[in-house]
Chain A
């Protein structure tokens, strides 16, 4: 039943592709570059974030005014940081864009089943990236220290308390103690910048099994994204809500839908339920690559067996090594010479790492020396099929 649902979703995904391909040439289709677009938005975030970091002060009294100074509003209408308002807007709207493209990337790779075999590593690291991105966004909204921020802190505290055993400790760790203390904003600043840096470690893990990852979108989309962000930042300036005042806490939350929708859930659910649902969703997300069976019967032609190196023929030419999309082939110093003449002179031997092989057969296509085979798709099988087809 899940399989049928996935088929239907795949159909919608591909027909969306089709519609876009009618307008844009295939190598400009943004849905083929959702990963690159995510990286683009992350880069914009990091650069604009560094700018903001240079002026932000993480203290209860000064956080709000430092942002006023950056944005050139209030008492700093004339003396504010030049372009600060635009860069603050760039930071906020590229964060929203970041979540949009990450979700596109997530859903597209889910519905097209691009998590088979060893591709579960990009999937798991991708889930971590998504969770970290959401977390970083929330801490960003806390840093502003307006009424929304104070409300977020209160709501997060209440939610964390409902987690059994570790809830109180988590709350202390995140906020620097129960309730609002002086340690809150410096800690939240660290929890904003530190995980943002850690995103690059997770990205290393995300790319590590992939050769030639597409890390940047085509120029058309880079320009389009930058232009859209700039336009949003200029037409809808990013502003703070009224400043946080612990004496008169607000009860209305101005929601940014991309990051703060779980808090919206607190309006309808108790915190305990929210935590439970969130946990279930995250755990399911991590389980997705393992949900579909990968038995022979299910996969058919797509389970062709791990690529096998024919030791006798391998000449160490490295063509398979360079062509494997998943870094599943390594070249090792040849422990013994091969059998054919060319293989006798080899210095290197190709070795297939079975845990990384997704059984696609691209290495077989690359090899000019017949030194690689797919166990269930041998060369002689292909030739037999060709001869059979020629006879009909």
Chain B
């Protein structure tokens, strides 16, 4: 694996934590009928997921 897998790995872990928080936020938004908050958390989760995929490739974990 290339040498910059370290910092990328850290970012991926961070984004995964953010994603987890978002999931909790989505569930909270759903339960309290704050549907727009639920939508916002879903949006942030998807954005975080897209960056996780990008960093997986840049850190050499996936890809050609």
How far apart are the CA atoms of A33 and B47 in the complex, in Å?
18
> What chain A residues lie within 8 Å of B58 (beta carbons)?
25
B16 on interface, CB distance cutoff 8 Å: no
Interface range for B? 20 to 34
Q: In the complex the two chains form, is A221's CB within 8 Å of B43's CB?
A: no
Given contacts A227-B47, A230-B43, A231-B47, whether A83 and B53 have CB atoms under 8 Å apart is no
> What chain A residues lie within 8 Å of B42 (beta carbons)?
227, 230, 234
Determine how close the nearest CB of chain B comes to the CB of A9; give it in whole angstroms.
28
User: From A87, which residue of chain B is reached at the shortest CB distance?
Assistant: B39
A386 on interface, CB distance cutoff 8 Å: no
Q: What is the interface of chain A mostly: helix, strand, loop, or mixed?
A: helix
Q: Which of A196-238 contact B (CB under 8 A)?
A: 219-224, 226-235, 237
B49 on interface, CB distance cutoff 8 Å: yes
> What chain B residues lie within 8 Å of A231 (beta carbons)?
40, 43-44, 47
How far apart are the CA atoms of A297 and B45 in the complex, in Å?
55
Q: What is the interface of chain B mostly: helix, strand, loop, or mixed?
A: helix
How far apart are the CA atoms of A318 and B45 in the complex, in Å?
46
> What chain A residues lie within 8 Å of B48 (beta carbons)?
227
Q: In the complex the two chains form, is B46's CB within 8 Å of A223's CB?
A: yes
Q: In the complex the two chains form, is B54's CB within 8 Å of A28's CB?
A: yes
Q: In the complex the two chains form, is B36's CB within 8 Å of A86's CB?
A: yes
> What chain B residues lie within 8 Å of A229 (beta carbons)?
43
Contact residue among B39, B45, B50, B53 (Cβ-Cβ distance under 8 Å from A86): B39
A48 on interface, CB distance cutoff 8 Å: no
Q: In the complex the two chains form, is A223's CB within 8 Å of B43's CB?
A: no
Other contacts beyond A219-B50, A231-B44: 5, CB < 8 A? A227-B45, A229-B43, A230-B40, A234-B36, A234-B38
A-B contact pairs, 29 of them (CB 8 A): A82-B35, A83-B35, A83-B39, A85-B35, A86-B39, A220-B54, A223-B46, A223-B47, A223-B49, A224-B46, A224-B50, A226-B43, A226-B46, A227-B43, A227-B46, A227-B47, A227-B48, A227-B49, A227-B50, A230-B42, A230-B43, A231-B43, A231-B47, A232-B43, A233-B39, A234-B36, A234-B42, A234-B43, A235-B40
